[in-house]
């Protein structure tokens, strides 16, 4: 079926089998491989993207649902080759180890970043509690997100 939507600020249109997930669509049809598949069941959060300003696990969103929506992936948040402040702060905080959870983690943080309010550390932790990381023990990730959110003031 034909699905039209906005992907990383560009209007796109594609013919996609209706059983495809958003994850498979962005990886296999659009070739955007920054979004990772860790479980394909909405349990690990590695495939998190932002859809209509909310963080979603793209593996649990069926392609037809995406019609008319705005989707932002990890490839869509840095501008002119500059890291987004979330990415910059995660790098500086030492929040990246194996990197496989990282794009999803960045997108969950981005969904906070675009909201017009402050977040406590506990709120940050809750917001990324659907993003599993096995490497870091989370502290540096929360530090990085916290730092990035503080720059909005």
Select the span of 7-15, 50-58, 101-109, 111-119 touching other proteins (CB under 8 A).
101-109
Asked whether position 123 contacts other proteins by CB under 8 A, the answer is no
Select the span of 1-9, 63-71, 112-120, 138-146 touching other proteins (CB under 8 A).
138-146
Asked whether position 43 contacts other proteins by CB under 8 A, the answer is yes
Contact indicator for 9, 73 with CB cutoff of 8 Å = no
Distance between CA atoms of residues 67 and 13, nearest Å: 9
Distance between CA atoms of residues 69 and 12, nearest Å: 11
Contact indicator for 36, 47 with CB cutoff of 8 Å = yes
Q: Which is nearer to other proteins, 4 or 28 (CB)?
A: 28
Asked whether position 132 contacts other proteins by CB under 8 A, the answer is yes
Binding residue for other proteins, selected from 12, 29, 62, 83, defined by CB under 8 A: 83
Contact indicator for 83, 132 with CB cutoff of 8 Å = no
Q: Which is nearer to other proteins, 67 or 126 (CB)?
A: 126
Name beta bridge partners: 13. 4
Binding residue for other proteins, selected from 62, 65, 100, 147, defined by CB under 8 A: 100
DSSP one-letter string for 33-72: TTS--SSSSSSS-TTEEEETTEEEEGGGSBGGGGTT-EEE
Binders of other proteins: how many residues, by CB under 8 A? Answer: 51
Under the rule (CB under 8 A), what is the footprint of other proteins? 31-41, 43-44, 46, 73-75, 78, 83, 87, 90-92, 94, 96-103, 106, 124-126, 128-142
């Amino acid at each position: 079926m034909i699905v039209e939507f906005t992907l990383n600020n560009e209007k796109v249109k594609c013919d996609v089998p209706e059983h495809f997930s958003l994850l498979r669509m962005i990886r296999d049809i659009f070739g955007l491989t920054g979004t990772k598949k860790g479980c394909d069941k909405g349990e690990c959060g590695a495939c998190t993207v932002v859809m209509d300003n909310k963080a979603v696990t793209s593996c649990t969103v069926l392609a037809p649902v995406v019609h008319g929506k705005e989707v932002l992936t990890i490839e869509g948040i840095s501008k002119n080759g500059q890291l987004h402040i979330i990415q910059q702060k995660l790098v500086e905080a030492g929040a990246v180890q194996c990197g496989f959870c990282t794009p999803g983690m960045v997108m969950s943080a981005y969904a906070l970043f675009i909201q017009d309010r402050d977040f406590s550390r506990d709120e940050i932790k809750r917001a990324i509690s659907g993003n599993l990381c096995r490497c870091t023990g989370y502290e540096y990730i929360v530090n990085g997100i916290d730092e990035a959110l503080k720059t909005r003031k």
